[in-house]
């Protein structure tokens, strides 16, 4: 390692790289909840098993078309805030919205069905399917601007990029582990407060888990977006 490389590496702290990778940990946390609960929620919304599988296949198809476009647009972005941060923020907001709507799909279907005099089952199914697609697509697509942000915000030396990739993987794995642990424990101590906040009369674990996911995605996004200015 050259003297210049040592000096550059010293300027890049582990804490700074952990902050920049925080949103990845949050994404994996949310993804674990999505994996655990999306299929049961789709089935409880009245979606047939074969259409449940079809719902899961829609997001990769959309991603195949749109993810390269997200990369191109972020490369050409002229925002003073940076090229990647606007896309990280936008996709985080969609994840936030989908995490809010998914566990409340039955409540939304019931209330909208009464207000619009439509079938609550149809509205519930529609909200659930759209939420799952949004969540799955954004969880995958946010990796494109996030990895580009890490490359843009830090010196492109071998040592720094290796450390960045290592910490990125560690944070993601840790977030996913915590998410699956949360899905497997009794969450009754937070179910009632969250249900009161959302105005729901039903207490269940899905609402509790996705309520925590919303907090985690907010903290992860804020931590990453305020971590470091992009170099170019």
188 sits in which H/E element: helix 188-198
What's the rounded Cα separation, in Å, for the pair 228 and 176? 24
| pLDDT tens for each residue of 44-70 | 888 888 888 888 889 889 988 888 898
Please give the pLDDT value at position 170: 94
Please give the pLDDT value at position 197: 60
pLDDT at 221 over 60: yes
Return the closest-CA partner of residue 74 out of 142, 172, 161: 142
Instruction: With beta carbons less than 8 A apart as the criterion, state whether 96 and 212 touch.
Output: no
| pLDDT tens for each residue of 113-151 | 888 778 888 899 999 999 999 999 999 999 989 988 988
Please give the pLDDT value at position 8: 45
Please give the pLDDT value at position 232: 56
Mean pLDDT of 85-114: 90
Q: How many Cα neighbours within 13 Å face the side chain of 54?
A: 6
Mean pLDDT of 164-185: 92
pLDDT at 77 over 50: yes
Please give the pLDDT value at position 192: 65
pLDDT at 4 over 90: no
Please give the pLDDT value at position 5: 47
Return the closest-CA partner of residue 176 out of 80, 18, 33: 33
Please give the pLDDT value at position 164: 87
Mean pLDDT of 11-19: 83
What's the rounded Cα separation, in Å, for the pair 9 and 160? 6
Q: What is the DSSP letter of 46?
A: T
Model confidence band, residue 220 (pLDDT cutoffs 50, 70, 90): very high
What is the number of other CB atoms lying within 10 angstroms of the CB of residue 199?
A: 9
What is the number of other CB atoms lying within 10 angstroms of the CB of residue 102?
A: 26
The chain-wide mean pLDDT, for the chain, equals 85
What is the number of other CB atoms lying within 10 angstroms of the CB of residue 196?
A: 11
Please give the pLDDT value at position 12: 73
pLDDT at 189 over 50: yes
Q: Is 16 exposed, middle or buried (CB count within 10 Å of its CB: 0-12, 13-18, 19+)? A: middle
Least confident of 86-100, 116-130, 209-223: 116-130
Residue 14 makes CB contacts below 8 A (sequence gap 6+) with: 163, 167
pTM of the model as a whole = 0.86
pLDDT at 2 over 60: no
């Amino acid at each position: 390692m050259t003297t210049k490389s040592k000096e550059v590496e010293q300027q890049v702290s582990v804490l700074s790289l952990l902050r920049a990778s925080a949103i990845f940990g949050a994404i994996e946390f949310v993804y674990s909840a999505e994996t655990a609960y999306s299929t049961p929620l789709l089935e409880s919304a009245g979606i047939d098993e074969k259409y449940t599988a079809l719902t899961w296949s829609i997001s990769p198809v959309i991603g195949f078309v749109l993810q390269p476009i997200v990369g191109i647009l972020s490369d050409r972005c002229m925002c003073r805030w940076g090229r990647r941060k606007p896309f990280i923020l936008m996709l985080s907001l969609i994840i936030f919205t989908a995490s809010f709507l998914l566990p409340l799909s039955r409540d939304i279907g019931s209330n909208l069905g009464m207000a619009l005099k439509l079938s609550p089952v149809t509205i519930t199914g529609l909200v659930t399917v759209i939420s799952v697609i949004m969540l799955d697509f954004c969880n995958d697509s946010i990796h494109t601007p996030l990895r580009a942000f890490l490359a843009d915000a830090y010196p492109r030396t071998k040592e720094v990029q290796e450390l960045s990739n290592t910490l990125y993987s560690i944070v993601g794995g840790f977030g996913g582990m915590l998410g699956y642990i949360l899905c497997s424990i009794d969450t009754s101590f937070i179910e009632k407060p969250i249900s009161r906040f959302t105005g729901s009369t039903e207490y269940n674990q899905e609402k509790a888990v996705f309520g925590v996911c919303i907090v985690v995605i907010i903290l992860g996004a804020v931590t990453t977006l305020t971590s470091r200015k992009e170099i170019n």
